[in-house]
Structure 1
Amino acid sequence: MPGMAPQYQIRADYDARTIVVYQAYPPVIADAALRAGRFVTPFSFHRMTWIKPSFSWLMHRSNWARKAGQERILAVRMTRQGWEEALSRAVLTTADPKAVAQAAVHVQWDPERSPRGAALNHYSIQVGLGRQVIRTFTDDWIVSLTGLTGLTAQVRKAAALTQTGHAGRAQRLFPQERAYPLPPRLHGVVPGGG
């Protein structure tokens, strides 16, 4: 049908050099990262960290930043070069378990969410960065960290609008996301999405 989103498509807030991905953390991790301008302890450099370019999906996942341990939403602006490097090393989480276990980067596609939390008929990408690439992510790929808790009023307003049947108005408060143009070298490399 015309106007429908492709089932698998990376949608994101990006510019010529960077892309924004989102993460949810407890205050102790988010506050330390924001003070330092980069991820520092108590952020774990020894376990997979997941990045998501869909603001709506992360809002759904964190229950609008109300879920325990996910009260602080960070907008992580990273280089497109780093994003594409991560995608070039990705293995789909539903692939052969041995391949998944050895992969430096995991990709998972989950149903995208409407502002009201309903599953849509297209998918949103999540990218899991393993121990092999976390330091590169934190030290080389990240351009800036922004705490969206400073935008709590806006996020809460969007949640209230959504809950009172004004999802269209809520959507206007979200970051503008559009189809991400994968370079030709990644066509067919991003499992399910290129």
Structure 2
Amino acid sequence: MNKQFSEIPHRQIRAVYDATTIRVYQAYSDAITDAALAQGKFASPPFKMDRMTWIKPSFLWMMYRAGWGFKDAGQKRILAIDITREGFEWALAHGCLSHADDSIDKAEWEAKKKASPVRVQWDPERDLLLRPLEYRAIQIGLSKEAVQLYVNQWIQRITDVTPLAHSIHKLIQDGELVTAYSQLPQEREYSSEYHQ
């Protein structure tokens, strides 16, 4: 049973995961998607290894960012990428917040940001209608060695979930919100200690 919104912590990682992998989402053009699906990993070119790439465990946040795959040609294909949990946790351990907060000295944050290959950002989670919620969803930006690890070691499987995104979007447009909600990936609080 889902927790009531008021019980969900302000910052909490929620995802589809099992004992060895965790699912993240990205949205790309046809060219990047087709090459990735053909090779089972991102191929450069057309994927740019020298740019920061953002992974998102929240399906609805990805839908917000990509407009259900209808926002623009560069985000028309929605990919579910299953990566190793070791890789995901390496990214978290090597991450720096994108923006300084009150918990860290500004100079200390600047130094950590410069040295870190990973950015962590917390943005408002989205509901089925893509409205912002009170609590946050994590985005993880990978650069430098983190991108190399992601592409060459962490990725276990890439699935094109654009048809699912379009199907849920159509149900929402038709007012079938209960059915649309039932088709969402079942994300739950992520714990480094896996429990079935």
Separation in structure 1 between the aligned mates of residue 167 and residue 142 of structure 2, nearest angstrom:
32
Note if contact 2:69-2:166 (Cα within 8 Å) is conserved in structure 1. no
Which amino acid in 2 is paired with 1:132? E
- Alignment map for 1:76-87 (pairs within 5 Å): 76-87=81-92
Deviation track 1:27-80 (CA, whole Å, cap 9, x = no partner) reads 110111111111112101101100000001101110000121100111110000
1:62 aligns with 2:66: yes
Q: Alignment partner of 2:16: what SS?
A: strand
Q: Flag structure 2 segments of 5+ consecutive residues without an equivalent.
A: 101-108
Q: Which runs of 4+ in 1 moved over 4 A?
A: none
* 1:160 maps to 2:170: yes
Mean CA deviation greater in 163-172 or 17-26: 163-172
Amino-acid identity (%): 44
**3-state SS, counterpart of residue 109 of structure 1:** strand
Residue by residue over 1:125-144, the C-alpha shift from the partner in whole angstroms, topping out at 9 and shown as x without a partner, is: 00001122111111111111
Q: Which residue of 2 aligns with 1:190?
A: none
Matched, 1:34 2:37: yes
Q: 2:160 aligns with which of 132, 147, 171?
A: 147
* Cα displacement string for residues 151-188 of structure 1 (whole angstroms, at most 9, x for unaligned residues): x1x322311222344333211111110000135xxxxx
* Equivalent in the alignment of 1:104: 117
Counterpart CA distance in 2 for 1:84 and 1:99 is 18
Count of residue correspondences: 179
Q: In 2, are the aligned partners of 1:23 and 1:75 still within 8 Å (CA)?
A: yes
Query: Residue in 1 aligned with 2:95?
Result: 90
Give, as a single letter, the amino acid of the residue that structure 1 aligns with 2:69: A
Which residue does 2:105 correspond to in 1? Answer: none
Instruction: Tell whether 2:126 aligns with 1:116.
Output: no
Give the C-alpha shift of residue 90 in structure 1: 0.6
Determine the C-alpha separation between the residues in 2 that align with 1:7 and 1:168: 25
Q: Which residue of 2 aligns with 1:16?
A: 19
Aligned 8 A contact 2:27 2:79 in 1: yes
Q: How far is the alpha carbon of 1:124 from its aligned partner?
A: 0.3
Q: Indicate conservation of the 8 Å contact 1:116/1:167, yes or no.
A: no
TM-score, normalising length from structure 2?
Answer: 0.86
User: Take 2:15 and 2:32, find their aligned partners in 1: how far apart are those partners?
Assistant: 24
What's the Cα RMSD here? 1.4
Q: What residue number does 1:46 align with?
A: 50
Return 5+ residue gaps in structure 1 as ranges.
184-194
Q: Return the alpha-carbon distance in structure 1 between the equivalents of residues 134 and 92 of structure 2.
A: 23
1:189 aligned residue: none
